[in-house]
Amino acid sequence: MVSKVSTYALNQSTTNNALSIQKRMADLQRQVSTGVKSTTFAGYNIQSKMVQHYRADLQSIESYINNIDVAQTSVSQMNRALEQLFDQMDIVIGQANSDPQEGKPNVETMQSLARNAREIMIDVMNNKVGDRYLFAGSDVLNAPYDGYGNITTRVQQEVTNWLDQTNTATDFLTNVKGMTQSQMGFSLSGQSAGNIRVRANDGYEVDYTVKANTQPFQDILQALTVFIELDFPQEGTDLATREQFYEIHNEATSMLINAVDDLRADSFKLSNAQQALGKQREALVDEQSALLILMESTESVDPAQAIVSFQSLQLQLEMSFQSTAIISQLSLARYL
């Protein structure tokens, strides 16, 4: 019986080589299917820290872009709400300025316009996106204005006291202007609320605060309520005079005009914030694009090159199998 030549060591080496080739082929298949060189940081070897840095930066940029998008939605809604309020205030101011200073004014028309304007104003102050109140400052989960029942009762009493001359017109105006926020119906939590800012980049924030309890809103609320409740004194019944009526009427009109001008300044502030956020977003998108290019150059694989390498390894594997088959058939007799 002829003994076979021992080929254990050679077969073991050939097998290990084949396994190594198969592993490399599997990795190339994965690269072609995923488009990246590795699915783990370790697979990038010395470039692993660079890849981690790119991904962390991209995640941070995405977070900032999302912050900006949310803030821009809020700012746009706030500006639209203020524009709606301005339109109503222009109507009320126009009617107030058209009332004759001689004779009896059109009190009923003025009251109706002021009443409609106040309802719209309350909608503006309590405007929200989702569950977040836009004009509440940092107290976003609570409505900044609770209701006008209290201020209505107080102004009605002031009108009564003025008509019977318990108080003068000057007293009337002083008392109305001296009301506290709580007496006017503003929420207690909103009175201590802070500002609203958006983090738009590392170390960069944009403030877009316009609070419903600021002085312009208070003045508008007071003036509108005065127009709603103010009656023209009846001759022979009331002690107040026509001149006093117009003193109150004109002061309420001035309050409206000045408050609207102040609110327009707040609207301009919102527009500036919108513009700043837009520019910052553009810069972030540019940075994001540059990082993606760097990421692609570091992580991405050339599919064509990967296929060529795969085919080359496949050929090596086939040759290895063929060699193993031939060697396994050799005998001592064939060597001799």
pLDDT at 90 over 70: yes
Quick one: pLDDT at residue 40? 55
Domains of the chain by residue range: 52-292, 304-336
Quick one: pLDDT at residue 308? 54
CB 137 within 8 A of CB 209: yes
Q: Which of 31-62 are b and which e, b meaning 16 or more Cβ less than 10 Å from the residue's Cβ?
A: bbeeebbbeeeebbeeeeeebeebeeebeebe
First to last CA, the chain: 15
- Tens digit of each residue's pLDDT (9 = 90 or more) over 219-261: 999 999 999 999 999 988 999 999 999 999 999 999 999 999 9
Phi/psi of residue 131, nearest 5 degrees: -110, 15
Nearest to 111 by CA among 271, 273, 229: 229
Quick one: pLDDT at residue 138? 96
Quick one: pLDDT at residue 32? 61
- Tens digit of each residue's pLDDT (9 = 90 or more) over 139-155: 999 999 999 999 999 99
Angle CA(120)–CA(137)–CA(274) in degrees, nearest 5? 80
Query: Considering the domain 52-292 in this protein, what is its CATH number?
Result: 1.20.1330.10
Task: Tell me the percentage of the chain whose pLDDT exceeds 70.
Answer: 72
Sign of the C-alpha dihedral, residues 231, 236, 242, 243? negative
The average confidence (pLDDT) of the chain is: 85
